[in-house]
């Protein structure tokens, strides 16, 4: 629908005309428990409508002006502007209601509509739990989906107060941005909330249903903030509320000290909700979080670290994004990069944190995501040019989150941490409950740091692409360094990317490492910190020193750049990567090796040898799990086909060896069990999975619990060792929403033409699956050792993809467009088919971006395979 894609120019015009004062939103959700679209397990979700009544008060800068308000709804019954009825048939079209003849000054609009429950995770999502057959509702409004629930001026700079009145089944819980009142009305089923402070539409929220809750408070120096944690009753036994409260309080302590601004809302609830599309959402005072973070089975500490980072990320958003909000989506990074940087900094520096090594995790996961994104044809400046809502919907990416956070980490090193946070404090005080642009933040940071940040901003925030740093070192016959420089390259941007290669100023550290004779560990013997700028930067401080075993550029990971080792350091690290005493330099070397593999500088077989030589000594479980994912991806996509199976067999044997050698009950044991399950291939491997599943064999200390069982089931189904009856039997053991998703994935993974056709039809030819089940079916459908079986779907994909994009909601369409792209068909034929489709179909910009990103993955795989061959 053309009216759903608001342009930047339209938003600017509307913002010049209007000042929005308040919304009163009355929703009748009393019928939420009944009716809906049938799910595969017999429960129901989505479907059906509810009455939505919106009264919005706003001011117009002009008399007799015309504008519009946004609403996505199947039916509008009444529109009343300033006491006069508006012809609904004439005014409501393309998800907009045209408003004519505005008064100068105060105006009042009332809109009565039927809005629709969804099963896509957008707007008001409705889910029925198969365990208790109860309905659970929650809203998800970022970017433009408040308009699916109430009529709204859907753009971030038209802030207002919001007062919700909700009618829901008696006995249910209703949570919103304001504290939950006592229900009223004859049946005790009406909740009337107090108005919120002035906030943007996209961070308003409602969570409704018979949720289980645990309550506490944050208390410090006379401040008291009510805290709540919510989940479905079927997950309550797994909810570790004390651990979640502990992380939350740590965040309150650290953020309030660093930001020098008290938490700005009346309470702080965290609600673990089903079928959530993202990790979490920063609704003011009512954060929604995917309920996979309520762990049903044993997970490694890396999972707890990731959950803690998500909790802290959303809490940081209460200031960055909610208190102070970007004016337009160009500055989305002001929200996401700052929340990412400060959440990880909190984990690293807050007293008593369980994860002081969080920068290691950042270097090995978030930054590899950023490096990958920055080498795609869609790479863009951190401060992106967002022309319309379609642009921003595909811009929640590795640039906006991970590159932005990396650049902020460098900015902190450049200006100083105290100076950085002093600037942030001034920024919050100056712009509380308002909207800002990049210049507002930079101005505050320039004031407190004394640095001119205009050049820094232009090169780092307003340009795209990546830099490569290499050491240039000469030594004499005695092994003494006679010259040392850092060489900076700016590779050409990918074909189709906008902009020019840019050399940038970097604040880096150079670490010198040698083996400690007593411990056998690689330890840092010295460190030099400096600014690098231009193509070649001499480092006089290292001249005259004995050359160490390893010279590591960007030690401590201060800057955002790909780093290469000199030949001698690379040779030494190849033998001793696992011997670094500290986790961060190990992670940096692992990341460099992975990047070289992706760039076809290191053959996949050599990357595998490097990993196998050092992973057994890797103590950081997050790094181990990252290496598992990277090795599997490299073998599946980057290995030359002629010896892929040999390399996979070698890796599988290593995973089983490490599984048996790991300490019983340890995180490493669980991680290696999952790695083995992901790649098991021989008769003996698969027989072992079957035996572990039925209990006829065991590994000391390994608990084959619910989630691990499903990992075994998935592999056995994909290899044809488990049929529909076996999958159904496993689902009987776990008749939950998670079990439904796992069973759907396993069915789609079966190596038969019939299974593939059934999965394809359920996703592409039908639109009935809920978002989480659709995602599971796609994940099962795409199996890396079923290339031949899937080959015929390449043409089917290109025949269907544009229709999918035009007929489905954004979240559902993006799952299909990205998930079903024939990425496993690594050939020039796939590139040709993609190019032909792009030329013939003339897709809209957002769809073109997703397809060209996927195409770039095939192109990269072809280069890597050539290197490996």
* Other beta carbons within 10 Å of 680: 22
Q: How many residues comprise the chain?
A: 869
List all residues 6 or more positions away from 755 whose beta carbon is below 8 Å from its beta carbon.
Answer: 747, 748, 749
Within 562-697, where are the H helices? Answer: 567-576, 583-598, 604-614, 621-633, 641-661, 667-679, 683-694
Tokens at 564, concatenated: 């290469």
Cis bond before residue 97 (omega within 30° of 0): no
* Other beta carbons within 10 Å of 422: 19
Say which DSSP state 122 is in. S
Taking only Cα atoms into account, the Rg of the chain, rounded to an integer number of angstroms, comes to 28
Hunting for tokens 């079928």 — which residue is that?
A: 275
CA distance linking residue 851 with residue 220, whole number of Å? 51
List 60's β-bridge partners, or say none. Answer: 18, 105
CA distance linking residue 790 with residue 826, whole number of Å? 12
List 76's β-bridge partners, or say none. Answer: 113
Whether 125 contacts 51, CB under 8 Å: no
Identified catalytic residue from 305, 314, 327, 707: 314
Pairing relationship of beta strands 223-231 and 268-273 according to DSSP bridges = parallel
Tokens at 171, concatenated: 């006995």
The sign of the CA dihedral 580, 577, 579, 541 is: negative
Say which DSSP state 820 is in. T
The sign of the CA dihedral 88, 91, 96, 97 is: negative
Q: Does the annotation count 314 as an active-site position?
A: yes
Say which DSSP state 183 is in. P
* Other beta carbons within 10 Å of 759: 22
Cis bond before residue 595 (omega within 30° of 0): no
- The beta strands (E) that lie in 261-335 are given as 268-273, 280-281, 286-290, 325-326
* Other beta carbons within 10 Å of 577: 22
Tokens at 615, concatenated: 């992973």
Whether 653 contacts 700, CB under 8 Å: no
Tokens at 685, concatenated: 């491997």
Hunting for tokens 């897709």 — which residue is that?
A: 843
Give how far Cα 56 sits from Cα of 85, 228, 499, Å: 15, 30, 43
Say which DSSP state 193 is in. P
List all residues 6 or more positions away from 651 whose beta carbon is below 8 Å from its beta carbon.
Answer: 608, 612, 631, 632, 635, 679
- The beta strands (E) that lie in 368-431 are given as none
Whether 14 contacts 155, CB under 8 Å: yes
* Other beta carbons within 10 Å of 61: 12
What residues are labeled active site? 314
């Amino acid at each position: 629908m053309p009216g759903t894609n608001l342009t930047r120019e339209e938003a600017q015009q509307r913002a010049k005309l209007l000042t929005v004062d308040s919304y009163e939103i009355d929703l009748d959700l009393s019928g939420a428990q009944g009716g809906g679209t049938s799910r595969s397990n017999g429960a129901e979700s989505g479907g059906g409508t509810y009455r939505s009544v919106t009264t919005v008060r706003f001011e117009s800068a002009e008399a007799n002006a015309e504008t519009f308000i946004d609403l996505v709804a199947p039916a509008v019954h009444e529109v009343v502007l300033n006491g006069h009825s508006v012809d609904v048939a004439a005014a409501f079209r393309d998800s907009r209601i045209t408003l004519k003849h505005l008064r100068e000054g105060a105006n009042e609009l009332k809109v009565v509509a039927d809005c629709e429950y969804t099963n896509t995770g957008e707007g008001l999502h409705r889910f029925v739990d198969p365990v208790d057959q109860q309905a659970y509702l929650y809203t998800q409004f970022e970017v433009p989906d408040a308009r699916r629930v109430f009529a709204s001026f859907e753009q971030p700079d038209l802030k207002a107060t919001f007062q919700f009145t909700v009618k829901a089944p008696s006995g249910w819980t209703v949570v919103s941005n304001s504290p939950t009142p006592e229900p009223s009305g004859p049946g005790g089923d009406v909740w009337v909330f107090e108005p919120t402070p002035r906030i943007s539409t996209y961070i308003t929220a409602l969570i409704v249903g018979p949720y289980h809750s645990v309550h506490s408070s944050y208390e410090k120096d006379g401040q008291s903030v009510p805290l709540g944690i919510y989940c479905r009753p079927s997950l309550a036994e797994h909810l570790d509320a004390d651990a979640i409260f502990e992380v939350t309080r740590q965040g309150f302590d650290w953020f309030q000290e660093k930001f020098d601004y008290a938490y700005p809302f009346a309470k702080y609830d965290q609600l673990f909700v089903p079928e959530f599309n993202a990790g979490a959402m920063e609704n003011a005072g009512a954060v929604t979080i995917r309920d996979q973070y309520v762990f049903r089975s044993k997970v490694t500490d890396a999972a707890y670290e990731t959950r803690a980072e998500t909790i802290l990320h959303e809490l940081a958003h209460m200031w960055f994004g909610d208190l102070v909000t970007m004016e337009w989506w160009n500055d989305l990074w002001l929200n996401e990069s700052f929340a990412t940087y400060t959440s990880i900094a909190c984990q690293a520096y807050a007293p008593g944190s369980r994860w002081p090594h969080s920068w290691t995790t950042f270097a090995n996961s978030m930054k590899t995501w950023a490096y990958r994104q920055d080498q795609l044809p869609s790479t863009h400046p951190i401060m992106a040019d967002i022309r319309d809502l379609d642009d921003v919907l595909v811009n929640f990416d590795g640039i906006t989150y991970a590159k932005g956070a990396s650049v902020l980490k460098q900015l902190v090193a450049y200006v100083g941490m105290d100076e950085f946070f002093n600037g942030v404090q001034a920024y919050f005080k100056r712009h509380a409950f308002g909207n800002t642009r990049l210049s507002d933040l930079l101005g505050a940071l320039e004031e407190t740091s004394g640095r001119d940040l205009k050049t820094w901003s232009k090169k780092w925030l307003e340009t795209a692409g990546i830099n490569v740093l290499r050491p240039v070192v000469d030594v004499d016959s005695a092994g003494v360094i006679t010259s040392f420089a850092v060489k900076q390259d700016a590779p050409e941007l990918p074909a189709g990317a906008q902009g020019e290669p840019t050399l940038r100023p970097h604040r880096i550290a150079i670490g010198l490492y040698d083996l400690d004779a007593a411990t056998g560990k690689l330890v840092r013997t010295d460190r030099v910190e400096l600014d690098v700028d231009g193509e070649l930067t001499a480092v006089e401080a290292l001249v005259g020193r004995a050359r160490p075993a390893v010279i590591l550029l960007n030690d401590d990971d201060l800057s955002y750049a790909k780093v290469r080792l000199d030949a001698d350091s690379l040779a030494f690290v190849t033998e001793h990567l696992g011997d670094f005493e500290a986790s961060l330099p190990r992670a940096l070397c692992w990341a460099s090796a992975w990047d070289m593999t992706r760039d076809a500088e290191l053959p996949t077989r050599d990357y595998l040898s490097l990993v196998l030589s050092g992973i057994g000594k890797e103590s950081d479980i997050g790094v181990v799990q990252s290496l598992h994912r990277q090795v599997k991806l490299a073998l599946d996509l980057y290995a030359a086909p002629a010896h892929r199976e040999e390399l996979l067999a070698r890796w599988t044997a290593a995973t089983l060896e490490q599984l048996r050698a790991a300490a019983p009950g340890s995180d490493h044991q669980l991680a290696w069990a999952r790695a083995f399950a992901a790649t098991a291939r021989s008769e003996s491997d698969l027989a072992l999975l079957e035996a572990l599943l039925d209990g006829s064999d065991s590994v000391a200390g390994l608990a084959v619990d619910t989630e691990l069982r499903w990992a075994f089931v998935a592999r056995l189904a994909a290899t044809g060792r488990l049929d529909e009856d076996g999958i159904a039997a496993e689902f009987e053991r776990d008749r939950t929403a998670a079990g439904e998703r796992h069973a759907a994935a396993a069915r789609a993974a079966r190596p038969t033409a019939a299974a593939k056709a059934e999965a394809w039809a359920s996703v592409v030819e039908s639109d009935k699956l809920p978002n989480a089940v659709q995602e599971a079916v796609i994940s099962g459908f795409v199996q890396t050792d079923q290339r031949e079986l899937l080959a015929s779907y390449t043409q089917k994909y290109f025949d269907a993809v544009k229709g999918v994009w035009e007929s489905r909601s954004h979240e559902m369409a993006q799952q299909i467009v990205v998930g079903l792209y024939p990425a496993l068909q690594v050939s020039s034929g796939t590139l040709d088919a993609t190019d032909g489709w792009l030329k013939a179909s003339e897709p809209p910009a957002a769809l073109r971006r997703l397809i060209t990103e996927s195409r770039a993955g095939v192109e990269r795989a072809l280069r890597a395979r050539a290197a490996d061959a």
